[in-house]
Amino acid sequence: MTYSSRRDALKLLAGGALAAGGVAALATPALAQEFVVTNNYQNFKRGKIDGLHPERRILNITWEDMGRIKMRAADLVTNYPSLREGMIVDCNYFDHIDVMIAKKSPQTDAQAKALMDKGAQLTGIPGAREPIRMWSMSGMVTKVTPENGGLWIINASNGKPEEPSPNSGEVITMPQVQTAAGKQALATLKPGDVVNTVWTHQTAIAVKIIR
């Protein structure tokens, strides 16, 4: 599935509430030393390039059937210097993948940092050298729907580093939880729990110019 901006324009007066909530560690099994992104999470879509940021290898694409997303171009996208705004392209890419969903604690704070420092590895894709980068967000759960991978949290302080950071106290609709471990973790959460989450960036691994 495809995700663009995940921000809901809803703000709550929740400063004091963020200090409360459970702190017992409930982490997905993805807390191993290395998180591997498998091929079953690949997506294939056609869209139009409407923005490029070469200094960060960023690619903004508007899909023909959905909205606009911002992706990183992995080192596998060897034709990135040839891409131009307005081009129609076919993309192989990975959407946001849940790497960690855990109740907040000093242990899971450290685990989240270690995961982001290391990045995720691709499997079964020849030539991939650079890890897929990650981002994190923590805060208090306001709503959870395990049956369809839904999670809403009140942002505590952090967010995607290359987008305008959401305000502390803003309710954020997180990307859909896709992994089996993540869905299992969701089933144990309830509103009021304070959680750490880690996700991969949306990442393109192949971009074919159509016209």
What the block records as the tokens of 149 is 């991978």
Q: Which residues in the chain are classed under CATH 2.40.50? A: 39-94
Q: Tell me the CATH class for 39-94.
A: mainly beta
Phi and psi at 63, nearest 5°, equal: -75, 155
What the block records as the tokens of 119 is 């990045």
Kindly report the pTM of this predicted structure: 0.74
Cα angle: 160, vertex 163, 169; to 5 degrees: 65
In whole angstroms, what is the distance from residue 147 CA to residue 150 CA? 8
User: To which residue do tokens 């960690």 refer?
Assistant: 100
Cβ proximity of 56 and 162 under 8 Å:
yes
**pLDDT digit of tens for each residue in the chain (211 aa)?**
433 333 432 333 233 333 333 333 344 444 445 677 777 788 899 999 999 999 989 999 998 777 888 999 988 899 999 999 999 999 999 888 899 999 999 999 999 888 888 888 776 555 556 778 888 999 999 999 999 999 999 987 655 555 555 666 788 899 999 999 999 999 999 999 999 999 988 899 899 999 9
Cβ proximity of 125 and 39 under 8 Å:
yes
